[in-house]
Amino acid sequence: MYTGVITKHDSDAATAEALSLATGEGPHLFLCDFSAAKSALSLANLQQAPDLWEAARASRNNRLAIVVPITAAKPEDSQFFEVVANNRGWKVRVFGARQTAIDWLMTS
C-alpha cells in the first residue's frame, strides 16, 4: 500500500524488493494499492517499468493488480501502464476498488 507522492525511485525500490521475494516460476500475485497515493511517474517511467521485471527474469506467470484512486488526476496513465505491460507479455490489470483487484488475483 502506497501513500504520499510516488517517485520513480520509490517504484523501482518497491519493485526490486517484491521481485527479490518472488523466487521460482510462480505464479506470484502482486497487489499495489495506490488509493492513498499520487504518482509522480512520467509516461516514460511507466513504459520502462517492465524492463525491471525482465532484467530480474521474473516469471510471466506472475500477476499484478493495481488499485488507483477513483479520483486520480490522470487515470489514463494507469491504463497506459496496463496496456504497455500486457503488450510485453505481463499479466497486469488496473482497478478502482481493492476488493475487485483481490478477486481478480484469486480467480485468474
Predicted pLDDT of residue 32: 92
pTM of the predicted model, to two decimals?
Answer: 0.86
Predicted pLDDT of residue 72: 66
Closest CA to 39 of 19, 62, 9, 15: 9
Predicted pLDDT of residue 108: 63
Closest CA to 68 of 92, 35, 90, 39: 35
Predicted pLDDT of residue 62: 92
Predicted pLDDT of residue 19: 85
Q: Burial, 101: exposed, middle or buried (Cβ in 10 Å; 0-12, 13-18, 19+)?
A: buried
Predicted pLDDT of residue 9: 93
Domains and their CATH numbers in the chain? 3-107 (3.30.750)
Distance CA 89, CA 106 (A): 20
Distance CA 57, CA 52 (A): 9
Predicted pLDDT of residue 37: 85
**pLDDT tens track, the chain, 108 positions:** 888 898 999 999 998 898 888 877 778 999 999 888 888 888 899 999 899 889 888 888 899 999 987 776 667 788 899 999 999 999 999 999 999 999 999 996
What b/e string do you get for 39-70 counting C-beta neighbours within 10 Å, with b at 16 or more?
A: bebeeebbeebbeebeeeebbeebbbbbbbbe
Alpha helices in 1-108 (DSSP H): 8-21, 43-55, 75-87, 98-107
